[in-house]
Structure 1
Amino acid sequence: MASCRVPGVLLMCVFVILLSTVFSISSASEEEKEYVLTLDHSNFSEIVSKHKFIVVEFYAPWCGHCKNLAPEYEKAASVLSGNEPAIVLAKVDANAEENKGLAEQFEIQGFPTIKILRNGGENVQEYKGPREADGIVTYLKKQTGPASKEIKTAEDADRLIDGKKIFIVGIFPKFSGEEFENFLIVAEKLRSDYDFGHTTNAELIHRGESSVSKATVRLLKPFDELFVDFKNFEVDALEKFIEEGSIPLVTLFDQNPDNQPFLNKYFGSPDEKAMLFLHFSHDQIDNFKSKYNEIAGLYKGKGLKFLLGDVLASESAFQFFGLTEDQAPVLVVQNNKGLKFINPNVEIDQIAPWLKSYVDGKLKPSIKSEAIPETNDEPVKVVVAKSLRDMVLDSKKNVLLEIYAPWCGHCKKLAPILDEVAVSFEKDADVVVAKLDGTKNDVPSDIIEVRGYPTLYFKSASGSKYVAYEGDRSKEDIIEFIQNNRDAATSESILKDEL
């Protein structure tokens, strides 16, 4: 089911898609030629099955980001059509009713989503590259051919190894055997995230031992200790080593685009997150950085990842956490249940003891919430974080709750339908239709999993049912779902009806 993707803990607002106008003109006819294939439910499988490598954008016609991407995507398709072999770019209107099955099959939760399909669609990977034409072309060229490039000369090493990015190089006595094969398996699996190379000559790698006696994976990085060696070639262990080693001890959240890949890894990590936001022009910034790095080192490997953010680059973070600039320096911890712990105007010597109190379970979470409305007499009731427990979680009524975002196109389309549903239950004291602004109010993620907007959850009066609604978003289907899942009328409501 289509929905507007939730900003994945701060990342949504970091990406900027450049708008440009691109026309491919035929010299013979002066008519525009389209290089991006248009797919739908009727031809998708047939066309994808013919390609060893094809890129598919899932879009919605109303989506602003999709409109901005369209000319860049078309320009990239034009350039890549001349590649050897040609790289095919395609698109699917995932908002169209007839293509909903494709959207569900590929778990499309927001627009635009781009997928790389290999071997006739048997292998599906997320596209994680740039959103402008030149970047798309460069990224996709790297995604074709071997996942790991052989390094034979110093020139190869200089060309392949970018000192600003993670690079994984396998050093082998020979390019055969289980260790080498497992390295290639991991390289293929993670090629969308990292660049890989392999060599028999460790002297060509400018960091680390120049002589290696046994097969070694060397992870090169532009931070912390700059390189780490690993000799366990079991696939899962090697993948874990790369994923964990690619996150800095302290990730920087600033305006430097080179830090974006590390931010993606940080926010995608399953670990709990400590985030310190302050002005990088602060007169004590060096002392803050030094102390914070020292503390991060003490928690290394203990399930807590650290980030240092510049207030000037952190507007999206401040909106997400409900912070204001006058609270900086502010220390925030987010746990695996989505609960947030906030320490505003923190001093350098307060960081370590406050984090220890958090780890020891002595802190209470901070709940972001709008004020409870003074009047709440519309058919769809307004719920905020402060009233969520009374109106939904502990309510003795059957409640359909929508978690929405004001900017979400799907939410705007659903709003009048929910109004009609609510009106149809106005005389039924046991049913409540409600809504909560997910951008301004926290919800307990261990109970309500919000992957996109809108998210609909239903709780029965007894609390025996608490399920996500994933049916069609029509008035009739929603009403039928409520009727089929509700608990019987309570004695209190029966008494009111009798009176």
Structure 2
Amino acid sequence: MNLFSSTKCIFFQVIMIFYVFYNPTDSGAVELNSQNIDMTLASNELVFLNFYAEWCRFSNILQPVFNEAADKVREAFPEAGKVVLGKVDCDRETSIASRFHITKYPTLKVVRNGQLTKREYRGQRSAEAFLEFVKKHLEDPIKEFHSLKDLENLDSKKRIIIGYFDRRDQPEYNTFRRVATNLKEDCQFHVGFGDSSKAMHPPGTPIIVFRPDVALSHENDETYKGGLVNFDELNIWVQEKCVPLVREITFENAEELTEEGLPFLILFHNPDDTESIKDYKAIIENELLSEKQNVNFLTADGKRFAHPLHHLGKSDDDLPLIAIDSFRHMYLFPDFKDMYKPGKLKEFLQDLYNGKLHREFHYGPDPSNNEDSNDIQVKFITSPPESTFKKLGPSKNRYTLLKDEL
């Protein structure tokens, strides 16, 4: 074999090794490991990850379905750098499992533009559902308006980010679009170009504005003051605006919120009651901001969540009302109107932390100085309602929990 042929052969082998290394199979999900995962995440707009263990029954059930979905996705989106369905054997790749905080098998996570999204995939586990999920994620997250009048009809119950640009090909808009792709589940994004937005910004100076959910909060519009080509800076600002201190719990996000492991302080309200929501949010932001690491502040449609109300001995006729779900028991705030008394909600939380709520549910109100505590305990022994929201946590029929989770 001459030198040219030998060199050509070596070159071909290197190309094949590189291809196999970053594209381990021609079909099914791509097997990811510590050598190829970072490049895969960095070089694709969307990476859908299946973290599994071979000994896990649920992982084995999902494996062929996920592989079939990978083939369907590859057929629908053949262009390089668009989307990859990848799988990680967590027994072999323990460092990756630790890096992504895997606590159950199988876990499905999404990475967009190199950044891990905070929400796992929790929908239907079929090839068709996975394909539709990918298609939805790859849709343009930004709606274009062609007149400022279009902005007058936006949903006042949604948090909105609006961009005013000269042209679509501006680097600032590329940054805006990447941020919108990452946070489209938390906010609505709108954009105007050229004549449709020129009245809102000086020529050559794009502007990005946050518009709050004015029907549900007392917040005001705010203009972004940072660098428009700095992705991290803009992403942090938008996330702070789009993910409020007080969130709404739904059946769709209940598992995600439950898995965070923090007690819930919940305002149950009628669907058309926006004033109590506004006031509740304002009080939380003014009085309980320091507690955000210890509790999830939530609102809930009292008609949709009638079951927890029933456990509290209440119905939608008693709305609005406030309760704590500690994931062991539920505790009712005595009187909704007391929310307006400074310090009352904070006192309610402190009574949870120090055990007073649990104690008083069992034995009645703490005795005064001239009362016999034994008499009160005998008179008021009872049991607080059990938590209902813990039942909305990860299903044992869908996951295998890690041994230290059992």
Q: TM-score, normalised by structure 2?
A: 0.54
CA distance, structure 2, for counterparts of residue 198 and residue 130 of structure 1: 30
**What is the CA distance between 1:76 and its match in structure 2?**
3.2
Residues 286 and 83 (structure 1), Cα distance of their counterparts in 2 relative to 1, 3 Å cut: closer
The yes-or-no answer on 1:80 pairing with 2:73 is yes
- 2:52, 2:89 within 8 Å by CA — same for their partners in 1? yes
CA distance, structure 2, for counterparts of residue 306 and residue 49 of structure 1: 33
- 2:156, 2:213 within 8 Å by CA — same for their partners in 1? yes
Aligned residue among 250, 266, 276 for 1:275: 266
The yes-or-no answer on 1:231 pairing with 2:214 is no
Counterpart of 1:224 in 2: which secondary structure? coil
Aligned residue among 116, 125, 131 for 1:125: 116
Aligned to 1:92: 88
Residue-pair matches, total: 315
Aligned to 1:140: 134
Aligned to 1:293: 278
Counterpart of 1:346 in 2: which secondary structure? coil
Higher helix share: 2
**What is the CA distance between 1:232 and its match in structure 2?**
1.7
What are the superposed Cα offsets for residues 428-485 of structure 1, whole Å, 9 maximum, x if unpaired?
xxxxxxxxxxxxxxxxxxxxxxxx715xxxxxxxxxxxxxxxxxxxxxxxxxxxxxxx
Residues 62 and 139 (structure 1), Cα distance of their counterparts in 2 relative to 1, 3 Å cut: same
**What is the CA distance between 1:194 and its match in structure 2?**
5.5
CA distance, structure 1, for counterparts of residue 76 and residue 96 of structure 2: 28
Counterpart of 1:171 in 2: which secondary structure? strand
CA distance, structure 2, for counterparts of residue 42 and residue 361 of structure 1: 44
The yes-or-no answer on 1:350 pairing with 2:302 is no
Residues 116 and 291 (structure 1), Cα distance of their counterparts in 2 relative to 1, 3 Å cut: closer
Residues 248 and 103 (structure 1), Cα distance of their counterparts in 2 relative to 1, 3 Å cut: closer
- The letter for the 1-side match of 2:66 is Y
- The letter for the 2-side match of 1:211 is A
Aligned to 2:16: none
Aligned residue among 23, 44, 49 for 1:52: 44
What are the superposed Cα offsets for residues 10-57 of structure 1, whole Å, 9 maximum, x if unpaired?
xxxxxxxxxxxxxxxxxxxxxxx9942262659855994896354321
**What is the CA distance between 1:58 and its match in structure 2?**
0.4
What does 1:406-417 correspond to in 2, within 5 Å?
409=400
The yes-or-no answer on 1:308 pairing with 2:300 is yes
- 1:182, 1:233 within 8 Å by CA — same for their partners in 2? no
What does 1:278-427 correspond to in 2, within 5 Å?
290-300=275-285, 303=289, 305-310=297-302, 313=305, 324-326=311-313, 331-332=322-323, 343-344=331-332, 346-353=334-341, 356=344, 358=346, 363=351, 365=353, 366=355, 409=400
- 1:333, 1:340 within 8 Å by CA — same for their partners in 2? no
CA distance, structure 1, for counterparts of residue 144 and residue 40 of structure 2: 33
**What is the CA distance between 1:105 and its match in structure 2?**
3.8
CA distance, structure 2, for counterparts of residue 349 and residue 361 of structure 1: 16
- The letter for the 2-side match of 1:109 is T
- 2:49, 2:86 within 8 Å by CA — same for their partners in 1? yes
CA distance, structure 1, for counterparts of residue 78 and residue 235 of structure 2: 30
What are the superposed Cα offsets for residues 399-452 of structure 1, whole Å, 9 maximum, x if unpaired?
xxxxxx9958556xx5xxxxxxxxxxxxxxxxxxxxxxxxxxxxxxxxxxxxx7
**What is the CA distance between 1:144 and its match in structure 2?**
5.0
Residues 272 and 301 (structure 1), Cα distance of their counterparts in 2 relative to 1, 3 Å cut: farther
**What is the CA distance between 1:170 and its match in structure 2?**
1.5
Counterpart of 1:82 in 2: which secondary structure? helix
Give the root-mean-square deviation of aligned CA atoms.
5.5
Residues 166 and 153 (structure 1), Cα distance of their counterparts in 2 relative to 1, 3 Å cut: same
CA distance, structure 2, for counterparts of residue 167 and residue 333 of structure 1: 30
The yes-or-no answer on 1:103 pairing with 2:97 is yes
% identity of equivalent residues: 16
The yes-or-no answer on 1:217 pairing with 2:208 is yes
**What is the CA distance between 1:356 and its match in structure 2?**
2.7
**What is the CA distance between 1:81 and its match in structure 2?**
1.7
CA distance, structure 2, for counterparts of residue 290 and residue 194 of structure 1: 21
- The letter for the 2-side match of 1:453 is E
Residues 104 and 251 (structure 1), Cα distance of their counterparts in 2 relative to 1, 3 Å cut: closer
Residues 238 and 90 (structure 1), Cα distance of their counterparts in 2 relative to 1, 3 Å cut: closer
Residues 34 and 406 (structure 1), Cα distance of their counterparts in 2 relative to 1, 3 Å cut: same
CA distance, structure 2, for counterparts of residue 300 and residue 219 of structure 1: 18
Counterpart of 1:56 in 2: which secondary structure? strand
- 1:273, 1:306 within 8 Å by CA — same for their partners in 2? yes
- The letter for the 2-side match of 1:103 is A
CA distance, structure 2, for counterparts of residue 191 and residue 253 of structure 1: 18
Aligned to 1:466: none
- 1:179, 1:233 within 8 Å by CA — same for their partners in 2? no
| Stretches of structure 2 lacking an aligned partner (at least 5 in a row) | 1-24, 363-393
Aligned to 1:151: 144
CA distance, structure 1, for counterparts of residue 78 and residue 286 of structure 2: 44
Counterpart of 1:297 in 2: which secondary structure? helix
Counterpart of 2:279 in 1: which secondary structure? helix
Structure 1 range deviating more: 178-187 or 239-248 = 178-187
- 2:277, 2:299 within 8 Å by CA — same for their partners in 1? no
**What is the CA distance between 1:197 and its match in structure 2?**
5.2
